[in-house]
Structure 1
Amino acid sequence: MKYLLWAIALACAGSASAQERIWRCGNEFINDPHIARQKGCKDTGLGKPALKTAAVTVPVDDDGHFRMRGTVNGQPAVFLVDTGATFVGISDDLARRANLHGGAPVQFHTANGVRASRVVEGVNVTAGSLAVPNGVKVAVGTIGLGNDVLLGQSFLSHFEITMNGKQMVIRNRTE
């Protein structure tokens, strides 16, 4: 019995890969395996990427979008790759947690109407294992709450992108 309890404790602690995965529950993305199991969420197949990869392959999601895991100033995020967006777009909530202050006030005309925002420069953004050395411009307050982020051209323009119907490959230009 003692060994069974020990094995259960190890399983509950979870491997690093289980704790770093992302599950989809309707329109919500969850990175907690226990909550995901309780809600019966679908595993997105997204997980922590290997470091120093020169290219990242992003499979198309069931809804036809490309999503990947990353960080904004060290805070975890789920990126919706948007090649038509000018900037990386984040919520006010994520900006607070990422300690992003200041920035130039602007107004954006979005699909949901005009939104008051601010653009912060030099923000550390990683998407998969890719990063821009001197940071990128991030539009704060352009999307709703949480960790969902639009990955726009302020980041993507630093990389070579190829797509087909089933996947997107984002690679360093030096390859």
Structure 2
Amino acid sequence: MQAPDPSSSAPPPASPDSAARFGRGFAWIAWLLVLGLIYLFFDGVLTQQRNPNQQLRQEQGAAGERVVVLDANRQGHYVGTLQLNGQPVEFLLDTGATAVAVSEAVAERTGMPRGAPYQSSTANGVITVHRSRIAELRLGTIVLYDLEASIVPNLAGAEILLGMSALNHLEFSKQQQQLRLLQR
């Protein structure tokens, strides 16, 4: 009997061409991974610049009042995240809005009732909106109940405009790029 030839059972050596293809494929994967990480980093930076109040800063006043401090974003607007009927929602503080204006998507997601339609004058002209109520709105430690609201079709920008129906329950003062909201 002859001994088996060890060279016949070994796999053929990799050709230089297949090793180069493997190297190029690995380089593409590495570049895609690096680009993905860069995207995630800058997406987080841009989100933080647009909404610097994702985590609201809260303070306790000397007489027990609740205070929330908002920082202005790069455009000078006060954008943040609050809880509307237990759901996190991004807001834009708008002292020119009579009521809290809520997008249709947020109203549906947070279970807000859709009431009677009425005409409202906005910066973009007269539109039809629907009356509604917000059961509970939480801005950090500040809690407001049973607020007047409007469900607005095609609300652009932030998911809600935090208008005067909520702000009338608070005191607020501005100092440099910060707005302090106070609930007694």
Give 1:155 deviation, angstroms: 0.5
Structure 2 partner of 1:120: 132
Structure 2: give runs of 5+ residues left out of the alignment. Answer: 1-37, 61-65
Cα deviation per residue 1:8-36 (whole Å; 9 max; x = unaligned)?
Answer: xxxxxxxxxxxxxxxxxxxxxxxxxx974
Residue 168 (str. 1) matches residue 175 (str. 2): no
Give 1:47 deviation, angstroms: 3.1
Letter in 2 for 1:55: V
Cα deviation per residue 1:28-80 (whole Å; 9 max; x = unaligned)?
Answer: xxxxxx97436464224423347795101111110011112102212211111
Mark the CA change 1:165 to 1:142 in structure 2 (over 3 Å): closer, same or farther. farther
Letter in 2 for 1:153: M
Q: Select 2:96's aligned residue among 56, 67, 84.
A: 84
Letter in 2 for 1:37: F
Is 2:57–2:68's contact at 8 Å kept on the other side of the alignment?
A: no
Structure 2 partner of 1:148: 159
TM-score with structure 1 length normalisation?
0.68
* C-alpha separation in 1, matches of 2:67 and 2:53: 15
Mark the CA change 1:154 to 1:37 in structure 2 (over 3 Å): closer, same or farther. same
Structure 2 partner of 1:37: 41
Structure 1: give runs of 5+ residues left out of the alignment. Answer: 1-33
Cα deviation per residue 1:112-154 (whole Å; 9 max; x = unaligned)?
Answer: 111111111243112233121x320111015526862100111
Structure 2 partner of 1:157: 168
Structure 1 residues 121-136: aligned runs within 5 Å: 121-132=133-144, 134-136=145-147
Larger Rg: 2
TM-score with structure 2 length normalisation?
0.65
SS of equivalent residue, structure 1 residue 70:
strand
Mark the CA change 1:76 to 1:40 in structure 2 (over 3 Å): closer, same or farther. closer
Mark the CA change 1:143 to 1:36 in structure 2 (over 3 Å): closer, same or farther. farther
Q: Which has the higher helix share?
A: 2
| Percentage identity across paired residues of the two chains | 27
Structure 1 partner of 2:120: 108
Is 2:56–2:139's contact at 8 Å kept on the other side of the alignment?
A: no
- More displaced, 71-80 or 34-43? 34-43
- More displaced, 36-45 or 163-172? 36-45
* C-alpha separation in 1, matches of 2:42 and 2:150: 35
* C-alpha separation in 1, matches of 2:44 and 2:114: 40
SS of equivalent residue, structure 2 residue 105:
helix
Question: What CA RMSD, in Å, does the superposition of the two structures yield over aligned residues?
Answer: 2.7
Structure 1 residues 62-77: aligned runs within 5 Å: 62-77=74-89
Aligned residues: 140
